[in-house]
Homo-oligomer: A and B are copies of this chain.
Amino acid sequence: MASDYLSQTFNALADPTRRAILARLSNGATNVSDLAKPFLKEMSLPAVTKHLKVLETAGLIQKTKDAQWRTCTINAKPLEAATNWMEQYRAFWEESFDRLDEYLKELQAPKNIANKKTKKKTRK
């Protein structure tokens, strides 16, 4: 679907099952069948495998083969680029707090200015 790295990362994260898989792997490398187990109540094994494939394509997990086991390991490196991309917009989501800050400052300090303006008006 998405060919560029950022799109692949965001696309991989755009699903609650895939995020849950990453959360499980953050506790340590897990073999594929143990990893799939808790999801098999809600979906088939091929469906879980498909989610793993999306995560693997995005470079968020790595599969290794030890003897008969296929083990999955988390690789959070692509999340660094994604976080850096989002950080550009931090000022925008913090803006509302800044506005609140400004409003609170206005409420406290410059009452005199406001009063002066009002007095001027009433003198006319």
Decide if A11 is an interface residue (CB 8 Å cutoff). yes
Instruction: Identify the stretch in A29-37, A45-53, A74-82, A112-120 within 8 Å (CB) of chain B at 4 or more residues.
Output: A74-82
Chain B residue numbers with a CB within 8 Å of A101 are none
Q: Is there a chain B Cβ closer than 8 Å to A42's Cβ?
A: no
Considering the complex, give the chain B residue whose CB is closest to the CB of A17.
B7
How many copies of this chain does one complex carry? 2
Does A55 sit at the interface, judged by CB under 8 A? no
A86 vs B22: C-alpha distance when bound (angstroms): 11
Q: What B residues does A110 contact at CB under 8 A? A: none
Tell me which residues across on chain B come within 8 A of A13, comparing CB atoms: 6, 10, 85
- What CA separation (Å) do A83 and B11 show in the bound complex? 15
Beyond A77-B96, A79-B89, A82-B86, is A7–B2 a contact (Cβ under 8 Å)? no
User: Which of B10, B16, B74 lies in contact with A14, CB distance below 8 A?
Assistant: B10
Contacts of A16 in B (CB 8 A): 4, 6-7
